[in-house]
Amino acid sequence: MSDHFPTLNNPAALPDTEIPPVVPAPEPLLPEYIAKAGKPLKKGETPAVRSDIIPYLGQVTDPEIGLDVNDLGLIYALEVDNKGNVTGEMTVTAPGCPFADTMLQSAADALAMAKGVGEVTIKLVWNPPWDFAMISDQAKLDLDLL
């Protein structure tokens, strides 16, 4: 074997360059979705209150699990302003969920059907990450988790 090729037996043949540190790969980008629905309330129309619109989310189910987004604990925030506009944050059960955009839009559309709701904006969020502890007790019974 020639002396000009670096080997473990001939470390002097190694180049004098410093080996750069290993840089970890970036985390995969998580999808961002914002769903919008509805239209501004007409003048004089009474804005909805939060407790009246939450049941509308019961119509939105996760197609892979078959339970609604309320019972799965996917709704993280939901606010109604004095003009009836709704803003919310929700997540999905896994970052690779193929139905994330559909579920968000379904949630926005369902809320927009409620009386006293104007424009609806629902944003997909990833923090805190969803886990089974967020599922309602009734849904846990339905899934045989209790």
Higher pLDDT, 7 or 65: 65
Q: Which two tokens stand for residue 12?
A: 């002097």
Q: Which two tokens stand for residue 116?
A: 């006293």
What is the per-residue pLDDT across 55-112, written as a single tens digit (0 to 9) for each?
Answer: 999 999 999 988 999 999 999 999 999 999 999 999 999 988 899 999 999 999 999 9
For 40, 45, 76, the CA distances from 90, given in Å and listed in that order, are 22, 27, 5
For 11, 78, 95, the CA distances from 98, given in Å and listed in that order, are 52, 23, 9
Q: Is the overall model pTM greater than 0.85, yes or no? A: no
Residues 126 and 58: their CA atoms lie apart, in Å, by: 21
Q: Which residues are CB-neighbours of 59 under 8 A, at least 6 positions away?
A: 68, 106, 110
Q: φ and ψ at 109, to 5 degrees? A: -65, -40
Task: Output the pLDDT for position 27.
Answer: 52
Decide: 62 and 72 in contact? Cβ < 8 Å. yes
Residues 37 and 7: their CA atoms lie apart, in Å, by: 66
Q: Which two tokens stand for residue 93?
A: 């059960």
Domain 37-142 annotated CATH 3.30.300.130 = yes
